[in-house]
Structure formats: structure tokens, C-alpha cells
């Protein structure tokens, strides 16, 4: 089964580029131009992984993740940013964001990071049988 990925970025070119790269890898990809649209999408459709831009007007990436963690806690999140800081990294860790991509990221970096995130998600969702 193909993984469902949501790309959230207010920059149309960045959003389309990420979507195209992931579609070429065979993923089901949806996109959202802002945080509110992303939250609405997650409420309506299951998402395995989200790539979320940090800086967006209105709801920023960290605010989006806070809401998504409440409504779909199994969703893996990758933060996308051109602006990294220690404070942002600490906030991201508190929100269960285990990976990030710095803009501009190469297609190889994007694909590797997404695969790592989906593998991590699959590992969390495995049911461990008790040993008799």
C-alpha cells in the first residue's frame, strides 16, 4: 500500500516541487497552502507523514504540528525550514518532530528523509505480541 503524504508550504513553487518529487517515488501526495488547510485535510483524510514548512502566515508549522498531534498522533512529521535555531529545535523535539529538511533540499535528501520517517512510523505501529 502506498503511503499518504501531505506537503504543507505557503510557497507554491516549493510545495509543487516537493509534491512532484514524492509522486515520482510512488507516494500518494496531497498538498496544503497553509496551516489551516493542512489541519482540515488531516481531519478528513489519513496521513502517514507530513512535510511542514516552519514559517507560514497565520498558523506556523509548529502550531500545525501541535493540532495534528492531537487529532492524528501517529502522523510522522518532517519540519521544513530555511531558518534553523536552537529554540526551534527544542520546540520541535517537544512536539515529536524527529527530522527536518533545510531549504533548499535536494531530491535525494527529501527522499531519504521521507523513507526514514515512514520506517520510523511503521516501527511504532507494529504490534508486539507478548511472549508466552
* Domains (range + CATH), the chain: 4-122 (3.40.50.2300)
* Cβ-based neighbours of 129, under 8 Å, separated by 6 or more: none
| pLDDT tens per residue, range 48-80 | 999 999 999 999 999 999 999 999 999 999 998
The answer to whether 58 touches 35, Cβ cutoff 8 Å, is: yes
* Phi, psi dihedrals of residue 109, rounded to the nearest 5°: -65, -45
pTM: 0.87
What's the mean per-residue pLDDT of the chain?
88
Q: Which candidate, 86, 94, 33, 85, places its Cα nearest to that of 77?
A: 94
The answer to whether 5 touches 27, Cβ cutoff 8 Å, is: yes
Query: What is the model's pLDDT at position 124?
Result: 66
| pLDDT tens per residue, range 18-47 | 999 999 999 999 999 999 999 999 999 999
- pLDDT > 80? residue 114: yes
36, burial (CB in 10 Å: exposed 0-12, middle 13-18, buried 19+):
middle
The answer to whether 8 touches 65, Cβ cutoff 8 Å, is: no
Amino acid at each position: 500500500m502506498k503511503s499518504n503524504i501531505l506537503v504543507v508550504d505557503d510557497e507554491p513553487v516549493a510545495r509543487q516541487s516537493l509534491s512532484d518529487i514524492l509522486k515520482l517515488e510512488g507516494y500518494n501526495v496531497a498538498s496544503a497552502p497553509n496551516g489551516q488547510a493542512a489541519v482540515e485535510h488531516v481531519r478528513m483524510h489519513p496521513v502517514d507523514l507530513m512535510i511542514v514548512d516552519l514559517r507560514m502566515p497565520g498558523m506556523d508549522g509548529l502550531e500545525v504540528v501541535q493540532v495534528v498531534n492531537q487529532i492524528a498522533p501517529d502522523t510522522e512529521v518532517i519540519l521544513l525550514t530555511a531558518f534553523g535555531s536552537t529554540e526551534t529545535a527544542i520546540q520541535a523535539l517537544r512536539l515529536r518532530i524527529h527530522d527536518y529538511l533545510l531549504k533548499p533540499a535536494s531530491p535525494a535528501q527529501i527522499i531519504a528523509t521521507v523513507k526514514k520517517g515512514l520506517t520510523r512510523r511503521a516501527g511504532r505501529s507494529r504490534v508486539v505480541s507478548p511472549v508466552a
